[in-house]
Structure 1
């Protein structure tokens, strides 16, 4: 039987936002006269905005910096950029529309809710998702299972009756810890150690392949 619910990660699965966060941090910190290289700004995606900002200030010997204030400035800019120019990965809209009415959909992400809301509004996909579990909604972020457990509780769905779509080791570990079967989407990555234990697909298209990986038949082919 196909799953009752499909739980999507956001950054790197639905939305191509890596460069957005890099640019948002660079534009925010240039107000301090700081030029932040791409590889340094990209580290925020591997940790957390607040931890990233706190580390930057600490390395420069700045005590009592308004870390939360600078995170808010960056976040407001990132959400604005996503809303003005949303970059959905190829295949996202057809897949979401094909799943509508066949499965209950939710997003489980470690990003800020405002980013997800801006993307969904700009792409016209907001009505397809029943719930968004974002950074603000989980006590512990991925690889902890909190976000997935919260989504399952809100949907009233058992872990075994759902499937998670992830693009990173942390996300896959979070879904596994919650007991949710996993699909790993590569987009720009090949299958490897990071995707072991999950069903791997290189992209969310062709539609028939993505649906099959999630446990659904492609009705358009009949």
Structure 2
């Protein structure tokens, strides 16, 4: 059966947001008088903001820190930075437009829905993804499959009839646990062990290569 839905991750697949998240965390944590290196803040790209900050507070022995308040401050800064520089990956807009009308489209992300909406508006794609699952829609974020299962439920599609695009081992694990085939996208990482048995593309610019992997013929 041909593919009926394509589910996109957001950070690292649709938009190049890693440096924005790192900078937003560094500016937020500077208000506590902390200078936190890039490699520490980069961990927040892979986990829930609240988990990242709670762990950091524990490491620095800050008791009763206002995790929710600082996360809100960081998110406000992230949204402002994304509005100024949405950083949409090359080929993304063209790919999405080529898929409209052929398959259902969804986004499943660990980020806040506000960030997704900002970038989609900048790309004139705000109506392209009727189904968006963000951080606030789930109890457990990736690598838990809850987000993907919720998206499939909303789409009314079985996992074997859909395919996901992911850019990290965490995202790949979430999609696979939901029963989805996955294409690994190398925007942030070169092909390596993190890809496992999934198909791999360097980026989203080569539609003649990507469309057959999506189960949609020759593009």
TM-score, length basis structure 2: 0.95
Can you list the C-alpha shifts for 1:169-219, whole angstroms capped at 9, x where unaligned? 111111111111111111242322211221111111122222222112355
Q: 1:201 touches 1:213 (CA, 8 Å); kept in 2? A: no
Matched residue, 2:95: 95
Matched residue, 1:49: 49
Matched residue, 2:169: 169
SS at match of 1:127: coil
1:100 Cα deviation (Å)?
0.6
Aligned residues: CA RMSD: 1.4
Q: Matched residues in 1 for 2:131 and 2:164: separation?
A: 14
Q: 2:47 touches 2:141 (CA, 8 Å); kept in 1? A: no
Q: 1:108 touches 1:151 (CA, 8 Å); kept in 2? A: yes
Matched residue, 1:179: 179
Q: Which runs of 5+ in 2 are unaligned?
A: none
Matched residue, 1:146: 146
How many equivalent pairs are there? 219
Q: 1:83 touches 1:121 (CA, 8 Å); kept in 2? A: no
Q: 2:12 touches 2:188 (CA, 8 Å); kept in 1? A: no
Matched residue, 2:30: 30
Q: 2:48 touches 2:141 (CA, 8 Å); kept in 1? A: no
Q: 2:167 touches 2:188 (CA, 8 Å); kept in 1? A: no
